[in-house]
Structure 1
Amino acid sequence: MSIIGEAILSVSVELLLKKLTSAELLQFARQEQIQGDLMKWERILLKIHAVLEDAEEKQTTKKSVKIWLGELQNLAFDVEDILDEFETEALRKKLLLEPEAEIEGRTSILSPGSSEFNSMVRSKMEEISVRLQDIVSEKNNLDLNENSMGRSGKVRETLPTTSLVNEAKVYGRDRDKEAIMQLLLRNENVSDGVDVIPIVGMGGVGKTTLAQLVYNDVRVKEHFDLRAWVCVSDDFDVVRVTKTILSSISDVTVEDSDLNLLQVKLKEKLFRKKFLFVLDDVWSENYDNWVVLCRPFEASYPGSRIILTTRNQGVSSMVATLPTYLLKELSNDDCLCVFTQHALGMQDFSKHGNLKKIGEQIVKRCNGLPLVARTLGGLLRGKYDPNDWEDILYSKLWDLPEEGGGILPALRLSYHYLPPHLKRCFAYCSLFPKDYAFRKEEVILLWMAVGFLQHEITGKRMEDLGHKWFQDLQSKSFF
């Protein structure tokens, strides 16, 4: 299965569980006396869902797990089909109960009786029940572990970021750096409190690198009394972030875990001091946590700043006091320098002319993302055989070995935090050809046609809901 296939499977199981607990389906199940069967299906799917993350990781090394996931995908489609039939039959019965005048002209369409429906569906249900039981039995023989740590327990597969950077290996960010520097070094404040500068961009575009360049600039060190770097990541833990800031500006390890004591100490340290804090890789849109975190900052000297990096414009809108800085992709020339620096240890192909043409083609596939250029360059480090380079050139990016670099962890993390309905909509977009120019209205109509929007309607037209979901994906840097 491809990564997109895995994504659709994860979301399919989640949506099946949601369908099985819907009020409409439960009412229909009670009427048809199939509630016990559906409850059994739910219990089995919950057990499968608990090990699905481990299975998707192990399928790359265990063929038996890969086969099991394929069988599960086919079964999930069949379960979804029969649940859709239940919903259709429930609607049919509801219409038949309406006054005859309202359904005049439709009786011929709705004439099949309940007995015919039951006889047809019962055999399907028995078959699915057997297949579900077989899937569970096979699962027990695959040594799959349950994800007891919850959604965020295993998501971070990359190392946390630090403030250190090798400026000699950074290309094409001078103009971006100076734009941020101008915002940092201005003395006046836009807001009553500490001004926040969000740097927003898709995964792998270089937000952290830009923040590192600014953080280590000599002008910043002279301008601010205190500096601190915090890799916030997926877990916006106010206590942990506060403790990290306090440890950074105190040069001692802080052992306290009481938020009140931590914030009181931090407020004392910040009193009449001008600071720069970098909060890197922020995901949470929890406004209350943000307000609590910022309380000690009010004691600081005017001109204090926070740089916040995020892939989500929703986070930026929540915290920004200064204009959001949208970080764009590198130019092809700068991306080529990043690639050659990591592949060959130099900025060009002067000593390896036989690799130049292949290298330039590889860099075009990087689409201006320095993370991709760095990772592909790292995979080719010390390899000077053109055949090795062609293997990378003609390999799909998704097929590259995950242990070879940070591409997949970086991009999977973005996908991981989408809610199930957006995961499914985004995974569907993999059906479009490479370099396809997405047209919002077309995509929304296709989502409607395959039924992605109809189960989520809450007083909104499907077109309006699709428009909102497209905007949500766009704001999170997926389009």
Structure 2
Amino acid sequence: MAAALVVELFLMASLILLLTTDAVNLVLGKKLGSDLVERLKTALLGAEALVADAEMKQFGNPSVRKWLDSLRDAVYCAQDLLDTILAKAATQKELSSSWWSPSFFINRDRDNMVDKMEGVVRRIEDLGKQKDFLGLEKIPTGSSSWRTPSSSLVKGSVYGREDDKKALVKMLNDNNEHHLSVIAIVGIGGVGKTTLAQWLYNNQEEFLKGFDLKAWVCVSEKFEVVETTRNVIKQIHGGTCSLDDFNSLQNALKGELSNKKFFIVLDDVWSDDGDKLSNFMTPFQQNGNKGSIVLMTTWEENVASAVQNCHPYFLKKLSEDYCWSVFAENASFPQSNGRAALEEIGRKIVKKCDGLPLAAETLGRLLGTKHDVEEKSKILMSDIWEFSVEKSKIIPALLISYFHLSPYLKRCFVYCALFPKDYEFKKDELILLWMAEDLLPPPKRGESLEEVGCECFDELTSRLFFTKNEGFGDYFVMHDLLHDLAIFLAGDFYCNLEELGKEEEIRIQPRHLCANLCYCSSKFHNLISEVKSLRTLLLFGNCSSSKCNIEAATWDILSKFKYLRALSFCNVVWHHGTREIHP
């Protein structure tokens, strides 16, 4: 959300330039002093410098999360105000050319809007002053990665991967006649890519016979060609490497690989920079004996396509039964009274893992630290994203991919928090919503906005944020934990009424609302009467119930929400007389 906020702050700063134009002066006259405009610009730039650090520190820190929500709300208010100013500027140009001009009402409106602008400026300035108390820095000094580096050692049992083991061994053996095979295991964070690679690396009996040397290198987020080359050399001969320049390192690696059949694992590769990867791979491609292998693990399909010469192996989710095995191994269930109740809680927790063994391991270990049923039940009711980073390995595993998105892609991803869990959406429909919300980057010369949206969608799909729903046409879905991440990042500004608890109240004014009218028509009508600045309203479901007067609600929506950018009835079915209408 914070990176998305950076984009919005940048757009806000650009919009402020409009405040000096004749059109806006027509609305506010000379009442908006240049000092107030400069204060707003300065406050926005100051906040923009802090949000990157706040984004990383919000996990497990409610105060920082509240600060981000407050800043986001202030920016929304400022955007609403600027929209009002620009709209009034357009209408007043027409009024000023006519014989009738209600100057009394115009002057009163000007005073009101200037007061609101002053209030927004003060809010953003006050939030900037809280940085020391919250420990926020303009330039984050810590690493954006909390993930522990991997090693080649297998920890614990490997559950549910027998078919994957056989398929990978077959794939590697089938390429044994090639001089060099570069193969990638691709899968969402926490699905078990590293575990599978560790099994291969240590499988002397079935696979590693005949290799002269092997090395395991954890690459992680920052792919530096020089440092990664040095690490490969150190792993091969188990010592230090004092070489610094790239040429000497590549020649040294060439010497290590010459006339040998090698198996090199590059774990957790993120860079899709084709030039960097190609330069790094040169010693491997020019040396070594037939049957040599470089195996990569990565979340991103684009990383694999940059240098691989074999088809990637896509690792799918574990079955619920195997996830339970991982969970139970880490939960340490007692052999005493109460075991049945704890297992019942555990089974429900495993469903939340949605096939990710790392999530099952994390939650199992957390459950094992609690001492009674009540404490363990709290884990079941908790959102995994509310845990601190130190207590959860699955959070870094999924977050790293989010942090690698561009600010515009982050905004597009967070927007999907509006949909219900397991919602099947179409590519074209989602792109149209992104366009209506102005979430996409500006098109390049000769490029349409639809094409930009298609590129953003394909990029998110290649990074496995969206996956195609097999057997259901052109529909896509999100993994449950990624959907939960989007909800966490979206905060209360995005509201899905179906997932809002019966007793839960809206703590902040939502700007984006989704409602299934089959289940929550009363909630919908109640909320419509409370919200003020709605920008998105997505409606679906069968609203033939007499409790749901969709025509009256539509009139209320169109007359009340002047900031509305997207109104969708795409999946609504209602009865009009004896006829069903599918808008």
TM interval, short-chain normalised = 0.7 to 0.9
Structure-1-length-normalised TM-score: 0.83
Deviations 1:23-61 (A, max 9, x none): xx7477466688876555343333223333444555567
**Residue equivalent to 2:522:** none
Shift of 1:73: 2.0
Q: Over residues 226-266 of structure 1, what are the superposed CA-to-partner deviations in whole Å (9 max), with x where a residue is unaligned?
A: 11111111100111110011111122111222111111111
What RMSD, in angstroms, separates the aligned Cα atoms of the two structures?
A: 3.4
Offset of 1:447 from its aligned partner?
Answer: 2.0
Give the equivalent residue in structure 2 for 1:281. Answer: 268
- Contact kept? 2:330, 2:368, Cα under 8 Å: yes
Q: Determine helix, strand or coil for the equivalent of 1:20.
A: helix
Matched-pair contact (CA < 8 Å) for 1:335–1:370: yes
Aligned residue-pair number: 448
Match of 2:9 among 16, 38, 45: 16
In structure 1, distance between residues paired with 2:210 and 2:337: 41
**Separation (CA, whole Å) in 2 of partners of 1:321 and 1:333:** 35
Aligned counterpart for 1:164 among listed residues 131, 153, 164 = 153
**Worse-matched range after superposition: 73-82 or 170-179:** 73-82
Which residue does the alignment assign to 1:76?
A: 75
Equivalent pair of 1:158/1:409 in contact (CA under 8 Å): yes
1:397-408 equivalences in 2 (<5 Å):
397-408=384-395
- Structure-1 separation of matches of 2:282 and 2:336: 53
Higher helix share: 1
Other-structure match for 2:518: none
2:209 aligns to what SS in structure 1? helix
| 2:130 is the counterpart of 1:138 | yes
**Residue in 2 that maps onto 1:208:** 194
Alignment match, 1:319: 307
Instruction: Report the AA paired with residue 50 of structure 2.
Output: V
Contact 2:52 2:140 in 1 (8 A): no
How do residues 186-265 of structure 1 correspond to structure 2 at under 5 angstroms? 186=174, 188-189=176-177, 194-218=180-204, 219-265=206-252
Structure 1 residues 201 and 80, CA gap change in structure 2 (3 angstroms): same
Comparing 65-74 with 290-299, greater Cα deviation is found at 65-74
Q: Is the 8 A contact 1:344 1:382 kept in 2?
A: no
Name the stretch that deviates more: 202-211 or 352-361. 352-361
Counterpart amino acid of residue 41 in structure 1: L
Q: Please tell me whether the aligned partners of residues 335 and 363 of structure 1 are also in contact (alpha carbons under 8 angstroms).
A: yes
Deviation at 1:437, TM superposition (A): 2.3
1:29-108 equivalences in 2 (<5 Å): 29=20, 40-56=39-55, 65-84=64-83, 92=90
Q: Give the 3 Å change call, closer, same or farther, for CA 338–30 of structure 1 in structure 2.
A: same
Task: Give the Å deviation of 1:276.
Answer: 1.1
1:430 CA drift (Å): 1.1
Residues 207 and 12 (structure 1), Cα distance of their counterparts in 2 relative to 1, 3 Å cut: same
Q: 1:368 to 1:42 in 2, by over 3 A?
A: same
Higher mean displacement: 127-136 or 220-229: 127-136
The answer for the alignment partner of 1:461 in structure 2 is: 448
Flag the 1:331–1:60 CA change in 2: closer, same or farther, 3 A.
closer
Q: Distance in 2 between matches of 1:148 and 1:353?
A: 47
Q: How far 1:188 moved relative to its partner?
A: 4.3
1:320 Cα deviation after fit: 1.9
- Alpha-carbon distance in structure 2 between the residues aligned to 1:87 and 1:300: 66
Does 1:155 pair with 2:144? Answer: yes
Q: How many angstroms does 1:179 deviate by?
A: 1.5
| Distance change >3 Å, CA 57–CA 282, structure 1 → 2 | closer
Structure with larger RCO (C-alpha < 8 A, sep 6+): 1
Matched residue type, 1:76: V
Q: Calculate percent identity across the aligned residue pairs.
A: 40
Structure with a larger share of its residues in strand: 2
State the secondary structure of the residue aligned to 1:278.
strand
Task: Please give the alpha-carbon distance, in whole angstroms, between the structure 1 residues aligned to 2:453 and 2:300.
Answer: 19
Q: Is the 8 A contact 1:234 1:284 kept in 2?
A: yes
Per mean C-alpha deviation after superposition, the further-off stretch among 294-303 and 390-399 is 390-399
CA–CA distance in 1 between the matches of 2:53 and 2:295? Answer: 36
Whole-angstrom CA distance in 2 between matches of 1:140 and 1:385: 39
Q: Residues 319 and 35 from structure 1, CA distance in 2 versus in 1: closer, same or farther, beyond 3 angstroms?
A: farther
| Separation (CA, whole Å) in 1 of partners of 2:55 and 2:10 | 19
> Where does residue 283 of structure 2 map in the other structure?
296
Q: Which moved more, 1:239-248 or 1:172-181?
A: 172-181
Checking the alignment, whether the CA contact within 8 Å between 2:3 and 2:410 is kept in structure 1 is: no
Distance in structure 2 (CA, Å) of the matches to 1:112 and 1:237: 65
Distance 1:173 1:266, change over 3 A: same
Structure 1 unmatched runs, 5+:
1-6, 97-102
Indicate conservation of the 8 Å contact 2:176/2:292, yes or no.
Answer: no
Describe the superposition over 1:67-101 as per-residue Cα deviations: whole angstroms up to 9, x where unpaired: 433332221112333444576689x59xx8xxxxx
Equivalent residue letter for 1:231: C
Mapped partners of 1:59, 1:77: distance in 2: 20
> Is the contact between residue 160 and residue 319 of structure 2 (CA under 8 Å) also seen in structure 1?
yes
Gaps (5+ residues) in structure 2? 26-32, 467-583
For 2:383 and 2:219, locate their aligned partners in 1 and report how far apart those are by CA, in whole Å: 31
Find 2:404's aligned residue among 378, 392, 417: 417
Shift of 1:435: 2.4
Residue 451 of structure 1 corresponds to 438
Using the alignment, how far apart are the partners of 2:171 and 2:338 within structure 1? 42
Q: Is the 8 A contact 2:7 2:408 kept in 1?
A: no
TM-score (norm 2): 0.69
Aligned partners of 1:64, 1:269: CA distance in 2, in Å? 52
